[in-house]
Amino acid sequence: MLRLVLLLNLCPLLLATPEYFDSVPALTCCCNQILKVPAQSESKCAVLSSRSNWSRSFGFSNGVCGLSASDKCAVNNEPTIFKKQTEIQTPADPSKPVPGYELQVDNRLFWVFQQRLTGDVLFNRTWDEYVLGFGNVSTDFWAGLTLINEFGKTNRTIRIEMTTVDNEFYWQESANFTVGNASTNYTMHVDQYNAYNTSSDVLYFHSGSQFSTIDIDNDLYGGHCASERGGGGFWWANCQMINPNGFYSSTVVSDPSSNFKYVAASGVQSYKTLQAIKMMLQL
What are the domain boundaries of the chain?
A: 2-83, 101-282
Nearest to 250 by CA among 114, 36, 125, 69: 69
Rounded to whole angstroms, the Cα distance separating 249 from 73 reads 12
Give residue 183's identity as a one-letter amino acid code.
S
What local confidence, expressed as pLDDT, does residue 10 receive? 30
Nearest to 171 by CA among 277, 282, 283: 277
* 213 touches 226 (CB < 8 A): yes
- B/e letters for 217-227, b = 16+ CB within 10 Å, e = fewer, are bbbebeebbbb
Q: pTM to 2 decimals? A: 0.70
Architecture of the domain spanning 101-282? Alpha-Beta Complex (3.90)
Indicate the helix (H) or strand (E) that contains 214.
Answer: none
What local confidence, expressed as pLDDT, does residue 66 receive? 80
Per-residue pLDDT in tens (0 to 9) along the chain, 283 residues: 323 322 333 323 233 333 434 444 433 444 556 788 887 766 677 667 766 767 777 777 777 888 877 665 554 444 445 555 454 444 555 556 678 999 999 999 999 999 999 888 888 899 999 999 999 888 999 999 999 999 999 999 999 998 877 787 888 999 999 999 999 999 999 999 998 887 678 788 889 999 999 898 888 777 777 777 667 899 988 776 677 888 777 666 554 444 444 444 444 555 667 788 999 999 9
